[in-house]
Amino acid sequence: MTPRYQQIAERLIADIQSGRSPIGGMLPTEKELCRRFRVSRFTVREAMRVLSDRGMLTRHAGLGTIVKSKASRGAYVQSLDSLDELLRYPPETRLRVRSMISVRANAELARLLRCRRGQRWMRISGVRSVTREKRPICWTDVYVVPEYAAVARIIGARPAPVYRLVEERFGEAVASVRIDMFASRVTPDVAPILSVAPGSAAMTIVRRYTGLRNRTFEISVSVHPEGRFTYSIDLMREWQTAR
């Protein structure tokens, strides 16, 4: 089933390409679009992000969202250029925070996070689960710079990735993300929480989010027990005809 935000994006694209939303004109406000499509503001923002990524919109502070172009950057396909689509968890999952503590990176943690030894982080730890499922998908440690520690209070309130919450609350902007995946083992301290034996096979995924000032402000480390969860990404080749 096509996600709701993608359905809304397709409707908005159709409005622009048909001329109902002319180039240079203003799109309705988020509040108006929420009423029109009967969805949350988060869903509307996801749809608007799709159009922005495709070069069809431009946003101006104090003015609103202006239609920039009828032309889209290729067919409407799932794209790895979108951070929200890249190894994103389904919306029916939630990250439930279990602890939050200030830490300094020792030698082992510095190697994992690729940060300097002694660097201070706020570590927000918890389990991600599917609604109505008893066994968690994974254990996650989210490391954020200390000044963004308050994000812990709103994690899990809605299906939004942590970096998106940081962007909205603190005005940070993601410039790049690096993802490392490697085989690992479940450590004894989290094995009971994940309902597996210590040393069980797992897949660890490390995501590093870097802002416009070339500072890594968030790093998440997620440990998925074997067979607990599968990522599927569909890629399509866009064929272009010669002009």
What's the CA gap between 147 and 135, in Å, rounded? 32
| Short-list 219, 171, 136, CA closest to 61 | 171
CA distances in angstroms from 200 to 43, 133, 183, listed in the order given? 37, 20, 11
**CA 51/CA 30 separation, integer angstroms:** 14
Q: Which of 201, 142, 213 is nearest to 176 (CA)?
A: 213
Q: Estimate to the nearest angstrom the gap between the alpha carbon of 27 and the chain centroid.
A: 25
Order of all β-strands in the sheet with 201-211? 93-104, 120-130, 138-144, 216-225, 201-211, 174-185
Given a contact cutoff of 8 angstroms between Cβ atoms, the answer to whether 143 and 123 are in contact is: yes
Cβ proximity of 50 and 27 under 8 Å: no
pLDDT digits (tens), the chain, 243 positions = 567 888 898 899 989 988 899 988 899 999 999 999 998 888 888 888 888 877 888 877 667 888 888 866 543 333 334 555 555 666 667 888 999 999 999 999 999 999 999 999 999 999 988 766 677 889 999 999 999 999 988 887 777 788 889 988 898 888 888 889 999 999 999 999 999 999 999 999 999 999 878 899 999 999 999 887 766 655 555 444 443
Domains observed in the chain:
4-77 (1.10.10.10), 85-225 (3.40.1410.10)
What is the pLDDT, as a whole number, of residue 78? 35
DSSP code of residue 197: -
pTM of the model: 0.62
Asked whether 106 and 117 are in contact (CB, 8 A), the reply is: yes
Answer for the pair 144, 218: CB distance below 8 angstroms, yes or no.
yes
Amino acid at 84: D
C-alpha atoms less than 13 angstroms from C-alpha of 204 in its C-beta half-sphere: 15
